[in-house]
C-alpha cells in the first residue's frame, strides 16, 4: 500500500517530532536479560523450527530415534503430497486450502464493508445510548465459539447452511464485524471531523465527504483491522469442525487436524501442511506490518 502511517495520521499543524524513546538499559543490557531472552526465543521458536525440519525430512529421519537435528536427507516429497493426491489428482488438503482462502477472504471483506461505515457512524453521529450499544457490540465477542456452536449448528441445520462455505463466511463475518467496528472507531476518532465539515461546505454530501476525504485517511487502519479479522477467520477451528463435514467444503484447520489420528500419522505431511497453512498469514502480516503497528498502538500514534 502506498500510504505510510505517518503520512496518514499527520493531520494538522502539529509537527512536533518527539525524540525517540530511550532504550531501556541502553548498551549496558545485563547478561541475565540476554540469557532470559535467549531461553524465551528457544522455547517459542523450537516448535516452529521442528515443524519446518520435519516437513523436509525423509520419513526414515522423521521417525528416527534419537531424533536427527542436522544430518538428515532433505526432501520436498511432503510438500508434493500436500497438493497432489497419490493418484495424481488434486489432494483433499489443497482443496481445503482453497476453501480457507475463499472463506477467510470473503468473510473479511464482508466484515470490513459492514464494519467501517458503522464505525464511522458511531464516531461521528450522536447515537442514542452510544456507549451501551458499543458495549453490547463488544460483548458479542466475549463468548468463545464453543459456547455458541451448538445453537448455531441447530439454526444452520434449519436453514440449510450446514456443510456450506456460505455458512462459515457468515459466521466469521458476524464475529469480525464487532471487532472491526471497535477497532475502526478508534481510527475514525483520530481523523478530525472538520475535514468532512469542510467538504460538505465545498458542496459534497455527507457520504461523499466520508468517501472522498475520510476513507483515504483510514486505509492504514482498515489494513490493520482486516489483517486481524483475516487471521481470526483463517485460524478458526471450532466452527469449521462442527459446521462442515465434506472434503469439498472443509477449511484447512480441521483438514490438517484430520491428518492426525488413525493408526499411523504421517508427521511429514502434517508438518508440511502446517507450514503451507501458516505461510500466507505470515507473508500478509509482513507486507502490512507498518499498518499493524499502527493498529495495535491505536490512539498512541503521534498526531
Partner 1 sequence: MGTVAVHEVCKSFGKVRALDGVTLDVPDGSFFVVLGPSGAGKTTTLRAIAGLEKLDAGSVHLDGRDATGDAPAARDLAMVFQSYALYPRHTVYENIASPLRARRCSSSEIAAAVEQMSSLLHIERLLQRRPAQLSGGEMQRVALARALVRRPRAFLMDEPLTNLDLKLRVEMRTELTRIHRSLGATFIYVTNDQVEALSMADQVAVLKEGKVQQVGTPTEVYERPANQWVAGFVGSPPISLLACHAEGDRLVGAEGWTLPRPRWTTAEDGRALLLGLRAEDLSVEQRGNASLPGELYGLEPLGDRTVVDVRVGTEILKVKARPTVTGTPGERLLVTVDLDRAHLFDAGTGLSLSEAGR
Enumerate binding residues for partner 1 (CB under 8 A). 7-8, 10-13, 15, 126, 192, 194-195, 197-206, 208, 213, 216-217
Taking the complex as a whole, the smallest distance from the CB of residue 1 to partner 1 amounts, in Å, to 13
Taking the complex as a whole, the smallest distance from the CB of residue 218 to partner 1 amounts, in Å, to 11
- The smaller minimum CB distance to partner 1, of residues 2 and 300, is found at 2
Backbone angles phi, psi at 276, to 5 degrees: -60, -40
Taking the complex as a whole, the smallest distance from the CB of residue 135 to partner 1 amounts, in Å, to 20
Taking the complex as a whole, the smallest distance from the CB of residue 19 to partner 1 amounts, in Å, to 20
d(C-alpha 124, C-alpha 219), whole Å:
18
DSSP 299: G
What dihedral do alpha carbons 234, 240, 245, 246 form, nearest 10°? -20
- The smaller minimum CB distance to partner 1, of residues 139 and 205, is found at 205
> What's the helix, strand, coil split of the chain in %, to 5?
70, 0, 30
Taking the complex as a whole, the smallest distance from the CB of residue 70 to partner 1 amounts, in Å, to 53
Handedness of CA 113, 114, 119, 124 (dihedral sign): positive
- The smaller minimum CB distance to partner 1, of residues 7 and 132, is found at 7
- The smaller minimum CB distance to partner 1, of residues 44 and 126, is found at 126
Cβ-contact 268, 275 below 8 angstroms: no
- The smaller minimum CB distance to partner 1, of residues 132 and 194, is found at 194
Cβ-contact 91, 285 below 8 angstroms: no
The C-alpha cell 508440511 sits at 272
Amino acid at each position: 500500500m502506498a500510504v505510510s502511517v505517518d503520512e496518514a495520521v499527520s493531520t494538522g499543524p502539529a509537527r512536533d517530532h518527539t525524540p525517540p524513546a530511550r532504550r531501556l538499559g541502553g548498551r549496558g543490557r545485563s547478561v541475565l536479560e540476554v540469557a532470559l531472552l535467549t531461553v524465551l526465543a528457544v522455547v517459542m521458536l523450537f516448535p516452529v523450527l521442528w515443524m519446518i525440519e520435519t516437513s523436509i525430512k525423509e520419513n526414515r529421519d522423521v521417525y528416527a530415534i534419537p531424533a536427527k537435528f542436522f544430518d538428515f536427507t532433505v526432501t520436498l516429497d511432503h510438500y508434493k503430497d500436500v497438493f497432489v493426491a497419490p493418484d495424481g489428482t488434486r489432494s483433499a488438503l489443497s482443496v481445503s486450502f482453497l476453501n480457507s482462502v475463499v472463506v477467510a477472504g470473503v468473510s473479511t471483506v464482508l466484515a470490513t464493508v459492514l464494519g467501517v461505515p458503522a464505525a464511522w457512524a458511531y464516531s461521528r453521529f450522536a447515537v442514542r445510548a452510544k456507549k451501551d450499544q458499543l458495549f453490547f457490540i463488544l460483548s458479542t465477542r466475549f463468548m468463545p465459539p464453543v459456547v455458541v456452536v451448538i445453537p448455531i449448528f441447530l439454526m444452520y441445520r434449519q436453514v440449510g447452511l450446514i456443510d456450506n462455505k456460505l455458512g462459515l463466511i457468515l459466521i466469521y463475518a458476524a464475529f469480525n464485524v464487532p471487532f472491526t467496528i471497535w477497532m475502526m472507531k478508534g481510527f475514525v476518532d483520530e481523523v478530525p471531523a472538520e475535514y468532512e465539515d469542510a467538504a460538505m461546505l465545498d458542496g459534497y454530501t455527507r457520504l461523499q465527504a466520508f468517501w472522498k476525504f475520510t476513507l483515504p485517511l483510514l486505509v492504514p487502519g482498515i489494513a490493520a483491522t482486516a489483517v486481524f479479522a483475516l487471521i481470526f477467520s483463517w485460524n478458526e477451528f471450532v466452527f469449521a469442525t462442527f459446521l462442515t463435514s465434506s472434503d469439498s467444503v472443509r477449511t484447512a484447520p480441521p483438514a490438517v487436524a484430520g491428518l492426525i489420528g488413525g493408526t499411523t500419522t504421517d508427521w511429514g505431511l502434517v508438518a508440511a501442511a502446517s507450514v503451507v497453512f501458516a505461510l500466507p498469514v505470515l507473508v500478509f502480516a509482513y507486507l502490512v506490518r507498518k499498518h499493524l503497528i499502527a493498529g495495535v498502538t491505536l490512539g498512541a500514534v503521534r498526531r
